[in-house]
Amino acid sequence: MSPPANPPTSRKGVPMKTSPPTLLAAAVVALAAPGAWAQSGASPTQTLRQVTVTGSTIDDRFGDSAREPTSTVSLSGHKVEAQHADNLVQVLKAIPGVTIDTQGGDDLKIKFRGVENQRYMGEKPGVAIVIDGVPVFERTGKVNINLDNIESIKVIKGGASYLFGEDALAGAVIITTKRGATHQGVALETDVGAYGYQRELARIGRASDHWSGHLQVSRRQADDYHFQSNYRSEALAGNLRWLLNDHADLTLGVEKEDRFRDKHGTVTGVTQAALDPKGTLGRDYARHFDVDLERVNLTYSNDLSDHTNLLALAYQYRDHTRFWSAPQRFSVTGAPISSPDAYTLFNDYHQTQRGVKGELRTTTGPVAWMGGVELKRNEYLNRTHAMVGYRNSPSPMERPTAAGTVFTDDRTGENVQAIYGEGQWRLATDWTLTGNLRHDRIELDYDARPVAGNGHSAIAERKSFDATSARLGLSWSGLANTVLFGNLSTGFRAPTVDQLYRGSQNPSGSVANNPDLKTEQATNIEIGMRKTFTLLEREASLQAAVFQIDRKDFILDSNGQYGNSSAAHVARYDNIGGARSRGLELALQS
């Protein structure tokens, strides 16, 4: 379906915890004053161009960088494929402010602007990952992305809770998968590379006046340079779009992936890099990851008029992950164990995310707005048991753990209700003011069966959080191919079940419960510019931004980041204080 003559744009709502009133008021005055001055100086007969909302949590079709008051970078699928990249790291590494923890293959943890760079275990990264409007993440904060099924990538830096809700403290990565008539016909592709890297892809697609669709299968595998870091992935993906009439369409997207990776595929520090570059010494705490992923999403779009659009999305995302953890040091008799394949725990994790979203956007001359609602029902099942019998020390006084002992058998239910909106106002010919607001209600239901790990005590806990997020931004496009922008936004992160109830989960672990934890808050301030031009007969772009992210009520173990607790000093997770990320970004691309 072709877009309307003046496509209404929508921006995703903003989950925000209230920022300091004086700071927000100052930003309103500072951002609005130049626009008001510019408008008063215009000719009385001047007519302002129509404005459209650019934000959406469902579809990226409404983007317009000329008025976007935030740092954004967009990459087309053609650019991604032209790089013949092994993983998303090689695609995103040229974007300033982006750091990525790799875990082998396409298993990544993406971080922006220094937020969470000091954490390398299973913490959330502070970046939302959204594929075709579906929020996707793993319990450990990592994400698996099928590099063969990307139509476009949009990176939003500087906070995005006003669009995507919880944990988007530093931004978001929005991925649109392959779709449309451009994929009709038959395609066969193959790549080979170093260390046993192989990639195969087969795709078939068709299109008519009323529908278009394609189906593709792909496979990637490699032995990798590092010891025990082999990986493979097999994926089936498809997209089918029906044109219901001249102004409405329905799109079905499906994807199923089977992934395996062994160790994390890196070494730590200069010394190990020099003495053990392949990482053959020692054992990772966790390895042998088997991951099954399934995603189904159905999107409805209806241009109710030339200036009004309705979008709706229903989705389900499943993640079933199994892996080994805790290297075995001693056998059940106390004999030392050093085999690289000897591990004690088997972890079985099921995650199901279901949700619906709806957005209505419209425009009236110099003013446009979007309103949306989002409902999510997520379920996380976790079970951990001993694969073998073992002791923790050679001492005969140490009580052995029997094979099959269950340490964790719990369920977490997460219900989220959110309303959000965006408004844009063209103050003058080249000035656009953008505002976002979002409110989230998060309800956690945690239940655990009585097992050895929790002292054979059943657990049933309920907790809820409310958070409001916002953004206020201003952009100016008075110079050819140049945009100046600034924005103030807020975001939040809710406490996890593990942080709230660690003491109940593991009574012998010397970490107490803290059900009184508050949501972590973040305030982002950013000023920047972007410009496109011709350099040596090639298209080029220049982007620059200065930013500051202040986090309040930062949640951390009272013993420190990775400190050890003891019976003499019982720790707990607490809102310990604040953290600040500040920097300058500059990028020249051609």
The pLDDT tens digits for 285-342 are 899 999 999 999 999 999 999 999 999 999 999 999 999 999 999 999 999 999 999 9
Secondary structure of 96-150 in the HEC alphabet? CCEEEEECCCCEEEEEECCCCCCCCCCCCCCEEEEECCEECCCCCCCEECCHHHC
Q: How many CA atoms lie within 13 A of 527 on its CB side?
A: 3
- Report whether 297 contacts 314 (CB < 8 A): yes
- C-alpha span between 152 and 60 (Å, rounded): 9
Give the model's pLDDT for residue 583.
Answer: 93
Residue 545 pLDDT exceeds 90: yes
- Name the pLDDT band for 11 (thresholds 50, 70, 90): very low
Residue 43 has pLDDT above 60, yes or no: no
The overall average pLDDT reported for the chain is 85
Q: Are 53 and 422 in contact (CB under 8 A)?
A: yes
Residues 6+ away with beta carbon under 8 Å from 331 = 337, 389, 390, 391
pLDDT digit string (tens) for 370-405?
Answer: 999 999 999 999 999 999 999 999 998 889 999 999
In the predicted model, is pLDDT for residue 528 greater than 50? yes
What does the pLDDT read at residue 264?
76
**pLDDT score at 149:** 87
Would you say residue 509 has pLDDT above 80?
A: no
- How does residue 432 score in pLDDT terms, banded at 50, 70 and 90? very high
**CB within 8 Å of 73: residues ≥ 6 apart:** 95, 154, 155, 157, 543
- Which residues, in sequence order, are bridge partners of residue 486? 474, 527
- What pLDDT, on a 0 to 100 scale, did the predictor assign at position 106? 60
pTM: 0.84
- Other CB atoms within a 10 A radius of the CB of residue 447 amount to 14
Please tell me which of 384-388, 506-510, 562-566 the model is most confident about, judged by mean pLDDT.
Answer: 384-388
Residue 200's identity, in one-letter code, is E
* Of 208, 206, 257, residue with least CA distance to 234: 257
CA quadruple 112, 116, 117, 121: dihedral sign: negative
Structure tokens at 4: 């309307």
**Residue of 408, 277, 401, 363 whose CA lies nearest to 62:** 363
Q: Which residue has the tokens 């446009």?
A: 368
End-to-end CA distance of the chain: 32
Please report which helix (H) or strand (E) contains residue 551, including its range: strand 538-557
Q: Which of 39-43, 85-89, 103-107, 451-455 has the lowest mean pLDDT?
A: 39-43
Higher pLDDT, 103 or 172: 172
| pLDDT score for 462 | 96
Q: CA 238, CA 176: separation in Å to the nearest integer?
A: 13
Q: For residues 323 and 347, what is the distance between their CA atoms, to the nearest angstrom? A: 5
Determine whether 133 is exposed, middle or buried from the number of CB atoms within 10 Å of its CB (0-12, 13-18, 19+).
buried
Q: Which residues contact 427 (CB under 8 A, 6 or more apart)?
A: 32, 35, 36, 38, 39, 366, 433
Torsion sign (Cα): 445, 448, 453, 454: positive
Report yes or no: 146 and 124 within 8 Å, Cβ to Cβ: no
Phi, psi torsion values for 559, nearest 5 degrees: -85, 0
Q: What is the per-residue pLDDT across 216-234, written as a single tens digit (0 to 9) for each?
A: 999 999 988 888 889 999 9
Strand partners, 490: 523
Assign domain 21-589 to its CATH architecture: Beta Barrel (2.40)
Mean of pLDDT values over 555-584:
81
pLDDT value at residue 228: 85
Cβ–Cβ under 8 Å, residues 155 and 304: no
Write the CA distances from 452 to 408, 415, 449, 545, 582, integer angstroms.
8, 29, 10, 52, 45
Let me know: does 553 contact 520? Beta carbons within 8 Å. Answer: yes
Residue 395 in tokens: 């001492």
Q: Which of 117-126, 180-189, 239-248 has the lowest mean pLDDT?
A: 117-126
Q: What is the pLDDT of residues 47-80, one digit of tens each?
A: 455 566 667 877 766 656 678 899 988 888 777 7
**Cα(581)–Cα(577) distance, rounded to whole angstroms?**
14
- Per the model's pLDDT, the better-predicted residue between 55 and 236 turns out to be 236
Regarding predicted confidence, which is higher, 320 or 148?
A: 320
> Which run of H or E residues covers position 417?
strand 406-428
Q: Report pLDDT for 294.
A: 94
Lookup: tokens for 558: 């009272």
Q: Of 173, 175, 95, 166, nearest to 124 (Cα)?
A: 166
